[in-house]
Amino acid sequence: MKNGGFSIKIEEYAPLGDIILFNYTRDLPTIVTRYPKLNEAYKASFATKLENIKTQEKNLVKSKQKKEITISLYEEADTLVEELVFVKDYIKDAGLDNRIVTALIHDLRSRNIEGACDKIETLKQYIQANQAPIVEEGMAPEFPTTLEAHKTSLAQKNKDQKTISDSGIVLTGDNNSNYTDLYNDIINIADKAKKVFKNTPFEDQYVISKILQSMRSSNKGGGATTPTS
């Protein structure tokens, strides 16, 4: 968001809002003598908008984490399927029933991870009970151990994915309105407070460009700015 000689980066809204809220809370009794509408109710509304931004940003992080976990989960499922295609033949060639492998492959491909984990355990025990002839057909002797490792890993990733999903992520396609609302309040409070404290040490504490300069000097780094509309 741009205003005159400064622009506010998306990641700067929350810390900037915190600074303005701190100063505004401290100076509220003086500010309301000149601007009665900048009262406790206005401050409470501003604090709520600030908290909405913080919650939105936390949820965005969770959404990215969930995406990363999901990709890892499905990649591992696909890797296991690639090996099971061969194990299915090994079991069949050993003259044994390979239907459990068919069912497991189906669960993994359809992303039924909980069902797949149950079938992995069943397959592991089945292989252990018939290991010699299956190994003779080409299966690696350590495959039951590999299955156990996949079961543990897939179950944990599935749990992590569900934990993030159940944490109440609510994201919309465009959250610019939240930033715009907070921005408007920041500018309103700062502009009026500067007038109230003109020619006093408090005036600079409401000059947005100076606050941003101080923030950036202690936290170097780039970032995208919010759209101006």
| pLDDT tens sequence across 41-54 | 999 999 999 998 88
For residues 71 and 13, membership in a common domain is answered with: no
For residues 83 and 52, membership in a common domain is answered with: no
Q: How far is CA 190 from CA 23, 48, 106, 218, in A?
A: 10, 17, 60, 22
Taking 90 as the threshold, does the pLDDT of residue 228 lie above it? Answer: no
Domain around 180: 2-60+173-218
Indicate whether 228 belongs to any domain: no
- For residue 106, the model assigns a pLDDT of 97
Residues in the chain, overall count: 229
Token pair for 5: 């000689």
- For residue 165, the model assigns a pLDDT of 62
More confident residue, 164 or 213: 213
For residues 26 and 99, membership in a common domain is answered with: no
Indicate whether 26 belongs to any domain: yes
For residues 141 and 70, membership in a common domain is answered with: yes
For residues 145 and 188, membership in a common domain is answered with: no
CB-based contact 24:31 (threshold 8 Å): yes
How many domains does the chain fold into? 2
For residues 142 and 204, membership in a common domain is answered with: no
For residues 72 and 124, membership in a common domain is answered with: yes
Q: How confident is the model at residue 166 (pLDDT cuts 50, 70, 90)?
A: low
For residues 19 and 86, membership in a common domain is answered with: no
Q: Can you tell me the mean pLDDT for 23-34?
A: 97
- For residue 100, the model assigns a pLDDT of 97
Q: How confident is the model at residue 161 (pLDDT cuts 50, 70, 90)?
A: confident
- For residue 47, the model assigns a pLDDT of 96
- For residue 3, the model assigns a pLDDT of 53
Indicate whether 158 belongs to any domain: yes
Indicate whether 224 belongs to any domain: no
Taking 50 as the threshold, does the pLDDT of residue 226 lie above it? Answer: no
Q: Can you tell me the mean pLDDT for 192-201?
A: 96
